[in-house]
């Protein structure tokens, strides 16, 4: 990119991609904003004109709003704790030399390739079903009453399903990070008198901090918008209505596009708040 | 403190026998250098002493105590690694403090030792930096600082200078030698560079394929190499090993003559040859000479003012008292 000429040529050639991407993002965003200021009821009269901030006020003042925020944060937080925690453990485990390492690694990655809807259905019908599920059989084998997972421990069940899906991702990223740890550093700390747990705490974990940051950031972005897992399991009942699911209900079940769009704008704001928050806490790990 | 004895130590990786039974005594306060070509097992031997590898059989004693089964941290040894192995997320101060922190030493003592080490190693201004912000030489000094503060009974160095540039290497070589004189602690130093071995060691251990070829002081090894391998390995440029007609004149299989023990003349001498490449270093001239039967090329180290050119005919006379004689089995004969 040395000369003025080649720079402008480069800009010209990148333009189509930039314009396409901008359009791809801007059109839905602008349409959401547009509808959020309208009363738009597709089955009850269609476009009924501008309403100002009415939709925004109604969405927040609804009794379902704060519980949905709470449910969203609990699911995201729970899944993050489980995936990062077990991801680190699994990563260390898979890094040990063992027989059939290649096959085991592929098996561990496998859940990531299962579609969310499918995995949620499998969990719902094969594991968590209170009469025929595997877990119910297990409980009965030990003489306990089967847990009705999806209604009695609904949030935990969904966290479990989502964690199962995202654990492979965390494991994969963390495994590669563990593999990049310099063996001489571990040996040096061994010579320096650090036993296994201290080696983990002072050497391995700091080395993983950057990878953990990346896992947390990426997972948060995707977990904030989980939807299929809730639709096919609880359908938003038993306190599992997240913000995303609430918006879905407003738009499709109540047929109120305006109200749903206002919720969408809140979701964008929430995602950004969480993102800024995370960046400030963990983002400094990315600078070093 | 710092007497290390190895008795019949062996090491195998699977079916591969890396170190056949080996005996070695390292005395307290001695600067011992393990030297040999790459893959000769010198690093493995060091790691066995450190405890980073388990020995297959035999016995390691440190200060009269059986250390064969002791974990690395309990052996009272400190190691400086080739890659320095500094902890990248800790400041220099925390790096140096790490072994003391693990030992549960109290803060005041830690601080005192860090200050002392930093002063001795010229690191005082860098204590709050991260390793990533330091130059190669400084990192090397931090690694040494981390070893010093533990006050170990012996230091182990695994090719510590091989990542430094030539000028820095000479400087660090002096610093490590200086440190050894000051601390008078046992040091074991692994290198493939025979110049480092010659300049630093009290005792050199020459290894080949896991076998100790010779143990001795640098000058012993230079003057009386026990076999052809040591003769060729110690000394720079390498000793000329001559077989065939010229050797049978001395009625042996091989004779060895160091480049610096051959006199060059353009008019008369015992052997006649043709000059190949002449490397003028200013102080010395290394002349590679072709046409000597049984050794091609033969290297001669002449004075800096010798003026010979490619293709010249020269006459060489080896200094009789410096001729080394080797039998067919490669061992020294006298």
Q: What are chain A's domains?
A: 74-240 (1.10.3720.10)
| Residue owning tokens 């290497």 | B169
Interface with chain B: mutation pick from A184, A191, A207, highest number of B CBs within 10 Å:
A191
Beta pairing class for B31-35 and B203-208: parallel
Task: Measure CA A197 to chain center.
Answer: 30
Q: How many whole angstroms from its chain centre is CA A229?
A: 11
CA distances, A170 to each of A107, A115, A185 (Å)? 14, 17, 24
The pLDDT tens digits of the residues spanning B216-275 come to 999 999 999 999 999 988 888 899 998 888 888 888 888 999 999 999 888 888 888 899
Are B179 and B158 in contact by the 8 Å Cβ rule? The answer is no
**Mean pLDDT throughout B201-214?**
91
In angstroms, the CA B257 to CA B326 distance is: 11
Nearby residues of A216 by Cβ (< 8 Å), 6 or more positions away: A80, A84, A278, A282
Collapsing DSSP to helix, strand or coil, B51 comes out as: coil
Min Cα distance B87 → chain A (Å) is 7
Angle at Cα A227 formed by Cα A222 and Cα A231, nearest 5°? 160
Express each pLDDT in A90-117 by its tens digit.
Answer: 999 888 888 888 888 888 888 888 888 8
CB nearest B89 (choices: A184, A187, A206):
A206
Contacts of A46 (CB under 8 A, 6+ apart): A40
Predicted TM-score (pTM) of the model is 0.78
Residue A46: pLDDT over 80: no
Question: B103 to chain A: which residues are within 8 Å by CB?
Answer: 193
Superfamily of B237-326 according to CATH = Nucleic acid-binding proteins (2.40.50.140)
Higher pLDDT, residue A157 or A287: A157
Is some CB atom of chain B closer than 8 A to the CB atom of A192?
yes
What is residue B30's predicted lDDT score, i.e. its pLDDT? 92
Cβ distance A36 to A261 under 8 Å?
yes
Please give the Cα distance from A119 to B12 (Å, whole number). 49
**Which pLDDT does position B217 carry in this prediction?**
93
CB contact under 8 A, A209 and B89: yes
- Given this model, what pLDDT does residue B294 score? 81
Give chain A's count of helices (H) and strands (E). Answer: 15, 2
Query: How far is residue A208's CA from residue A88's CA, in Å, rounded to a whole number?
Result: 9
Would you place residue A282 in the very low, low, confident or very high pLDDT band (cuts 50, 70, 90)? Answer: low
Q: What are phi and psi of B117, to 5 degrees?
A: -65, -45
Whether A287 has a pLDDT exceeding 60, the answer reads: no
Inter-chain residue contact B73 with A206, CB threshold 8 Å: no
Name the band, by pLDDT with cuts 50, 70 and 90, for residue A285. Answer: low
Burial per residue of B18-52, b for 16 or more beta-carbon CB atoms within 10 angstroms, e otherwise: bbeebebebeebbbbbbbbeeebbbbbbbbbbbbb
Give Rg (Cα) of chain B: 23
> Looking at the complex, does the CB of residue B105 fall below 8 Å from at least one CB of chain A?
no
Window 280-299 of B, Cβ < 8 Å to A: none
Q: Are A187 and B81 an interchain contact pair (Cβ–Cβ within 8 Å)?
A: yes
Q: Do B102 and A209 touch (CB under 8 A)?
A: no
Average pLDDT of every residue of chain A: 86
Which tens digit of pLDDT belongs to each residue from B72-93? 888 889 999 988 889 998 999 9
Task: Please report the pLDDT score of residue B288 as a whole number.
Answer: 92
Asked if this assembly's ipTM is beyond 0.85, the reply is no
Right CATH for B4-231 from 3.40.718.10, 3.40.50.300, 3.10.350.10, 3.20.20.70: 3.40.50.300
Residues A36-64, mean pLDDT to the nearest whole number: 82
Confidence of residue A86 (pLDDT cuts 50, 70, 90): very high
Residue A272 has which token pair? 């950004």
- Say yes or no: do domains B4-231 and B237-326 share a fold: no
B166 vs B173: CA distance, rounded Å: 11
Could you tell me where the DSSP H helices lie in B82-186? Answer: 92-102, 107-120, 136-148, 166-183
Question: Does A191 contact B83 at a Cβ distance shorter than 8 Å?
Answer: no
pLDDT (tens digit, 9 = 90+) per residue, A169-179?
999 999 999 98
DSSP-assigned states of every residue in A57-110: HHHHHSTTHHHHHHHHHHHHHHHHHHHHHHHHHHHHHHHS--TTHHHHHHHHHG
For chain B, the domains span 4-231, 237-326
Q: Does A210 touch chain B (CB under 8 A)?
A: no
Cβ proximity of B197 and B33 under 8 Å:
yes
Averaged pLDDT, B92-97: 92
Q: Does A81 touch chain B (CB under 8 A)?
A: no
Instruction: Give the pLDDT confidence of B10-51 residue by residue, as tens digits.
Output: 888 888 888 888 899 999 999 999 998 888 888 889 999 998
Q: What is the mean pLDDT of residues A169-196?
A: 89
Which pLDDT does position B70 carry in this prediction? 87
Residue A81's pLDDT is 95
């Amino acid at each position: 990119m040395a000369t003025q000429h080649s720079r402008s040529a480069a800009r010209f050639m990148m333009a189509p991609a930039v314009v396409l991407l901008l359009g791809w993002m801007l059109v839905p965003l602008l349409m959401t904003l547009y509808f959020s200021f309208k009363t738009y009821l597709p089955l009850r009269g269609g476009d009924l004109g501008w309403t100002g901030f009415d939709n925004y006020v109604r969405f927040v003042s609804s009794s379902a709003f704060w519980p949905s925020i709470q449910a969203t944060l609990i699911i995201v937080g729970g899944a993050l704790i489980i995936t990062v925690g077990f991801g680190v453990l699994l990563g260390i485990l898979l890094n040990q030399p063992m027989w059939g390492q290649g096959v085991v690694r592929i098996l561990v990655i496998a859940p990531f390739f299962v579609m969310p809807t499918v995995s949620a259905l499998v969990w719902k019908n094969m594991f968590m079903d209170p009469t025929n599920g595997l877990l119910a059989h297990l409980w009965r084998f030990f003489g306990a009453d089967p847990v009705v997972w999806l209604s009695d421990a609904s949030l935990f069940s969904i966290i479990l399903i989502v964690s199962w899906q995202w654990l492979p991702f965390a494991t994969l990223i963390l495994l590669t990070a563990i593999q990049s740890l310099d063996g001489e550093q571990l040996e040096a700390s061994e010579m320096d008198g650090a036993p296994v747990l201290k080696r983990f705490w002072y050497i391995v974990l700091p080395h993983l901090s950057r990878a953990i940051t990346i896992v947390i950031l990426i997972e948060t972005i995707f977990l904030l918008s989980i939807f299929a897992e809730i639709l096919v399991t609880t359908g938003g009942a038993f306190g599992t209505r997240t913000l995303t699911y609430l918006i879905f209900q407003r738009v499709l079940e109540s047929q109120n596009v305006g109200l749903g769009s206002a919720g969408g704008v809140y979701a964008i704001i929430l995602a950004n708040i969480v993102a800024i928050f995370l960046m400030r806490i963990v983002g400094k790990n990315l600078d070093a | 403190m710092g007497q290390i004895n190895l008795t019949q130590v062996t090491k195998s990786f699977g079916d591969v026998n890396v170190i056949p039974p080996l005996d070695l005594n390292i005395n307290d306060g001695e600067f011992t250098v393990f030297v040999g070509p790459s893959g000769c097992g010198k690093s493995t031997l060091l790691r066995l002493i450190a405890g980073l590898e388990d020995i297959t059989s035999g016995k390691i004693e440190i200060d009269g105590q059986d250390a064969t089964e002791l974990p690395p941290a309990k052996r009272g040894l400190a190691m400086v690694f080739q890659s320095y192995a500094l902890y990248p997320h800790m400041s220099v101060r925390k790096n140096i403090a790490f072994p003391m922190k693990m030992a549960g030493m109290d803060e005041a003592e830690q601080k005192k030792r860090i200050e002392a080490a930093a002063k001795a190693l010229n690191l005082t201004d860098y204590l709050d930096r991260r390793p990533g912000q330091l130059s190669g030489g400084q990192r090397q000094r931090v690694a040494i600082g981390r070893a010093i503060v533990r006050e170990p009974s012996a230091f182990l160095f695994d090719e510590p200078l091989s990542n430094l540039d030539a000028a820095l290497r000479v400087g660090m070589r002096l610093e490590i030698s200086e440190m050894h004189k000051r601390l008078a602690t046992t040091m074991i130093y692994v290198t493939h560079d025979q110049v480092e071995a010659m300049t630093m060691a009290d005792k050199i251990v020459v290894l080949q394929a896991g076998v100790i070829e010779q143990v001795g002081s640098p000058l012993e090894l230079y003057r009386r190499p026990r076999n052809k391998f040591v003769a060729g390995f110690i000394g720079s440029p390498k000793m000329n090993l001559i077989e065939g007609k010229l050797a049978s004149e001395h009625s042996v299989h091989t004779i060895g003559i160091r480049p610096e023990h051959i006199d060059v003349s353009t008019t008369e001498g015992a052997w006649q040859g043709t000059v190949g490449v002449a490397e003028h270093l200013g102080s010395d001239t290394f002349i590679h000479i072709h046409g000597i039967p049984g050794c091609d090329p033969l290297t001669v180290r002449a004075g800096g003012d010798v003026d010979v050119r490619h293709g010249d005919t020269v006459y060489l006379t080896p200094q009789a008292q410096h001729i080394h004689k080797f039998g067919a089995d490669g061992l020294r004969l006298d």
